[in-house]
Structure 1
Amino acid sequence: MARRERARSPGGGRDRPYYRGPVPPFRLLAVISLGGAIGALGRWGIAQAMPHAGTAFPWATLITNVLGCLLMGVLMGVTPPDPLLRPFLGTGVLGGFTTFSTFAIETRTLLAGHAWLQAWLYVAGSVVLGLTAVRLGPAVVHRSRGAAG
């Protein structure tokens, strides 16, 4: 069983909680599931706001996946105060928010509709922009810490 303790501040006082020991599996599964539901609802909201059909360019999925990559990079640049926060946000929220399956289906739809250029731009753009965004995430955290300090 995880033991909740208080971290000591440099002055010797207790100021923020943290957990020592393993996180119980049911708690981990619960926070990931809740995060996944929240992330999936966010993705659904973007898809509803930016619908497309057939061989139209799938902007909603591209934006969702690139934003998810950026946020994953940001998450990797910070140390959450609670061991359940990273699985909640990373595996849960961002795992539910981003989507490879929709990306694959939309790419297939573009190819089946002979929209070769759009399919190529969609695949290449998703990979290049996603990798760039995940790389920029920690830099955003580093720069914001420098500006705050």
Structure 2
Amino acid sequence: MSRPLLLLVVALAGGAGAGLRYIIDRLIGTRGPGSFPLGILVVNVTGSFALGLLTGLGAVVAPEAAVVLGTGLLGGYTTFSAVSVDTVLLAERRRWRDAAANLIGTLALAVAAAAAGVGIGLWAAGGLSG
């Protein structure tokens, strides 16, 4: 695939990922001034798992597919900026526990999900390539 075409496909996949994030966020919970951002937490944890899985499967996934799925789809799907803004808004409302839970919980759960994804991906890739 040519570089310009790959760039276009990555951009389209990123748009699809952002749309998916919006849908999941809306399905899981409303995002209002007083709500806990559970939808974005779920998005970031599932996205971290999926990227970890894709990374673990690296030996059996075509490099261009990895770029489209990892950088494009999952890059558009996950969002650190929303976590940051949501945490600030919770803190501004003096909801210190919710702000800390959002920040620390997202980091801990997303890293654990990514590690699980990598481990499962490496195990699966070993079975697929062996």
Q: Same fold (TM over 0.5)?
A: yes
CA RMSD of aligned residues (A): 2.0
- Considering Cα pairs closer than 8 Å and 6+ residues apart, tell me whether 1 or 2 has the greater RCO: 2
Q: How many Å separate the matches in 2 of 1:86 and 1:144?
A: 16
TM-score, length basis structure 1: 0.77
Shift in Å, 1:33: 0.6
Q: How many Å separate the matches in 1 of 2:123 and 2:3?
A: 35
Q: How many Å separate the matches in 2 of 1:120 and 1:138?
A: 27
Aligned to 2:73: 93
Number of equivalences: 127
5+ long unaligned stretches in structure 1:
1-22
- What are the within-5 Å matches in structure 2 for residues 1-149 of structure 1? 24-49=2-27, 50-79=29-58, 80-144=60-124
Question: Percent of aligned positions with the same letter in both sequences?
Answer: 31
Shift in Å, 1:82: 3.0
TM-score, length basis structure 2: 0.87
- Amino acid aligned to 2:91: L
Per the alignment, in what secondary structure is the counterpart of residue 73 of structure 1?
helix
Higher relative strand content: 1
Structure with higher Rg: it is 1
